Structure 1
Amino acid sequence: MGAGMSPSGGVTRNTLRQQIADALRDEVLAGRLPPGREFTVKQIAEQYGVSATPVREALFDLSAQGLLASDQHRGFQVREFGVADYRAMAEARALVVEGLFRNPEGVAVRPEGLASIRRRAAEAVRAAKGGDLDVLIGYDLRFWRELGQFVLNPYLADFLTRLRVQAWVFAVHRLRRDGMDEDVLWFGHEDLVEAIARGDHEQVHAAMHSYYAHALAWADRLEAEAAEGDAPGPRLPPEPGESGTSQGAAEPPEAPGHCA
Structure 2
Amino acid sequence: MPGTGGARPSRNGNGAVTRSTLRQQIADALRDEVLAGRLQPGQEFTVKEIADQYGVSATPVREALVDLSAQGLLDAVQHRGFQVHEYSLDDYREMIEARSMVVDGIFRAEKEHDRGPRAATILTSVRRRGEEARRAATAGDLTILIGYDLRFWRELSELFGNPYLADFLHRLRVQAWVCAVQHLRRLPDLRGHLWAGHTELVEALARGDAKAAHELVIGYNHHCLALVERLAAE
| TM norm. shorter chain > 0.5 | yes
**Aligned residue in 1 for 2:56:** 50
**Aligned residue in 2 for 1:135:** 144
The gaps in structure 1 that reach 5 residues or longer are 226-260
Report the CA distance between 1:2 and its aligned residue.
4.8
Which one of 181, 197, 206 corresponds to residue 197 of structure 1? 206
Which one of 26, 29, 51 corresponds to residue 35 of structure 2? 29
Given that residues 67 and 166 in structure 1 are in contact (C-alpha distance below 8 angstroms), is that contact kept between their aligned partners in structure 2?
Answer: yes
Letter in 2 for 1:11: V
Report the CA distance between 1:106 and its aligned residue.
8.5
**Aligned residue in 2 for 1:92:** 98
Report the CA distance between 1:152 and its aligned residue.
2.5
Please tell me whether residue 124 in structure 1 is matched to residue 130 in structure 2: no
Please tell me whether residue 10 in structure 1 is matched to residue 16 in structure 2: yes
Letter in 1 for 2:137: A
| Distance in 2 of aligned mates of 1:51 and 1:7 | 17
Query: TM-score scaled by structure 2?
Result: 0.86
After superposition, residues 1-260 of structure 1 pair within 5 angstroms as: 2=2, 9-104=15-110, 110-179=119-188, 180-182=190-192, 184-225=193-234
Given that residues 73 and 84 in structure 2 are in contact (C-alpha distance below 8 angstroms), is that contact kept between their aligned partners in structure 1?
Answer: yes
Structure with higher Rg: it is 1
The gaps in structure 2 that reach 5 residues or longer are none
Given that residues 9 and 18 in structure 2 are in contact (C-alpha distance below 8 angstroms), is that contact kept between their aligned partners in structure 1?
Answer: no
Aligned length: 223
| Distance in 2 of aligned mates of 1:17 and 1:163 | 21
Report the CA distance between 1:218 and its aligned residue.
1.9
Structure with bigger helix share is 2
Given that residues 69 and 78 in structure 1 are in contact (C-alpha distance below 8 angstroms), is that contact kept between their aligned partners in structure 2?
Answer: yes
Given that residues 127 and 202 in structure 2 are in contact (C-alpha distance below 8 angstroms), is that contact kept between their aligned partners in structure 1?
Answer: yes
Given that residues 110 and 160 in structure 2 are in contact (C-alpha distance below 8 angstroms), is that contact kept between their aligned partners in structure 1?
Answer: no
| Distance in 2 of aligned mates of 1:2 and 1:69 | 22
Given that residues 111 and 210 in structure 2 are in contact (C-alpha distance below 8 angstroms), is that contact kept between their aligned partners in structure 1?
Answer: no
Deviation readout 1:144-171 (Å, 9 max, x if unpaired): 1211211322221111111111111112
| Distance in 2 of aligned mates of 1:33 and 1:127 | 22
| Distance in 1 of aligned mates of 2:22 and 2:144 | 25
Q: Secondary structure at 2:39's aligned position in 1?
A: coil
Given that residues 36 and 181 in structure 2 are in contact (C-alpha distance below 8 angstroms), is that contact kept between their aligned partners in structure 1?
Answer: yes
Letter in 2 for 1:216: L
Report the CA distance between 1:10 and its aligned residue.
2.3
| Distance in 2 of aligned mates of 1:21 and 1:216 | 28
**Aligned residue in 2 for 1:239:** none
Given that residues 18 and 58 in structure 1 are in contact (C-alpha distance below 8 angstroms), is that contact kept between their aligned partners in structure 2?
Answer: yes
Report the CA distance between 1:107 and its aligned residue.
5.8
Query: TM-score scaled by structure 1?
Result: 0.78
Letter in 2 for 1:76: F
Change (3 A) 1:89 1:204: same
Change (3 A) 1:187 1:163: same
| Distance in 1 of aligned mates of 2:114 and 2:183 | 36
Identify which range, 107-116 or 64-73, moves more after superposition: 107-116
Q: Secondary structure at 1:77's aligned position in 2?
A: strand
| Distance in 1 of aligned mates of 2:16 and 2:112 | 40
Given that residues 106 and 153 in structure 1 are in contact (C-alpha distance below 8 angstroms), is that contact kept between their aligned partners in structure 2?
Answer: no
